Amino acid sequence: MMCLFDSFLCSSPPWQSEIIGSQTGSFCLPHTGRLSTPIKEDSSQHSTVIKMGWLDKNPPQGALYYQRRWVKLEVDYLRYFDNEKEVYSKGFISTVFITNVSSVGELKFEVATNNRTFIFRAESEAERNEWVTVLRDCTGGRHRQSTMNAGSSLAPDSQGYLELRGLRSKLYTVVASDKVFLYKNIDDFRIGVGITSIDMNVGNVKDSDRRSFDLTTPYRIFR
């Protein structure tokens, strides 16, 4: 198994092995607030994909090896997955917070924010150049807008730390409109770097006890 975050290996504390896309999880509500059951509607999991394909990604800790990732670019997010069949990403970057995209070295390119730089490697120079072009087109001028807003570009309806079974640390969870976003911590939320999002238009929420709830989607049951 692989860990939830690229930045933590399976044997590294404080996280235990678990993948959002294939394992059963558990959320525990904090002392304040409860999710209401959404109206069930037909909806795609995410917005229209601008570009997708296989890329190698350098882990955040700066290891020499690269990890193979299925990458999708949408208008609002750059997401990366274990494979093309996964619904829930291993991580995402809000395009509003991307400050620069540039080619670096052989077949590689950088996606930079004010707080972090992500390095990807393509299979060919043509593929690398295409990623750089579409990312620049998608993010051009958007960062200027984000600098006028404090913190994340999301407008949360509810937010706070929740527990996920199998992990020793809580995740910062944000409910915004019809989606639930998971972040490593509040600082990552503020800089637009998260783990995954859950589309609740096709999900249901049911209280399981005083502080817990089950979150069910067609792709996974969070218990």
- pLDDT computed for residue 153 by the predictor: 64
Residue 15 confidence (pLDDT) above 80: no
> What is the domain-level CATH number for residue 98?
2.30.29.30
Distance separating alpha carbons of residues 212 and 126, to the nearest angstrom: 49
In this structure, is residue 158 part of a structural domain?
no
For the entire predicted model, the pTM comes to 0.73
84 vs 55: CA distance, rounded Å? 12
Q: Is residue 84 part of a domain?
A: yes
Angle ∠(174,175,176) on CA atoms, nearest 5? 110
Q: Decide: helix, strand or coil at residue 116.
A: coil
Q: Is the pLDDT of residue 207 over 90?
A: no
Mean per-residue pLDDT of the chain: 75
Q: pLDDT digit string (tens) for 37-50?
A: 333 333 444 568 89
Task: Identify whether 121 is part of a domain.
Answer: yes
Specify the pLDDT at position 162. 86
Give the pairing of strands 212-216 and 27-28: antiparallel
Q: Among 52-56, 189-193, 215-219, whose mean pLDDT is lowest?
A: 215-219
| CA-to-CA dists, residue 165 to 52, 73, 184, 215, angstroms | 31, 30, 14, 13
* pLDDT attached to residue 6: 41
Percentage with pLDDT > 90 across the chain: 42
Cβ 152 vs Cβ 173: under 8 Å: no
**Total domain count for the chain?**
1
Query: Whose CA is closest to 108, among 71, 148, 55?
Result: 55
Rounded CA-CA distance 194/187 in Å is: 10
Residue 189 lies in a domain: no
Least Cα distance to 43 among 180, 214, 200 occurs for 200
Q: Locate 37 and state its tokens.
A: 């059951």
Element (H, E) at 188: helix 186-191
Domain extent, residue 84, equals 49-146
The verdict on residue 106 lying in a domain is: yes
The structure tokens 């995209």 sit at: 101
Strand order across the beta sheet in which 193-194 lies: 98-104, 108-113, 117-121, 49-57, 67-74, 77-81, 91-94, 193-194
For residue 35, being part of any structural domain is answered with no
The reply to whether 177 falls in a domain is no
Please indicate, yes or no, if residue 130 is contained in any of the structural domains.
yes
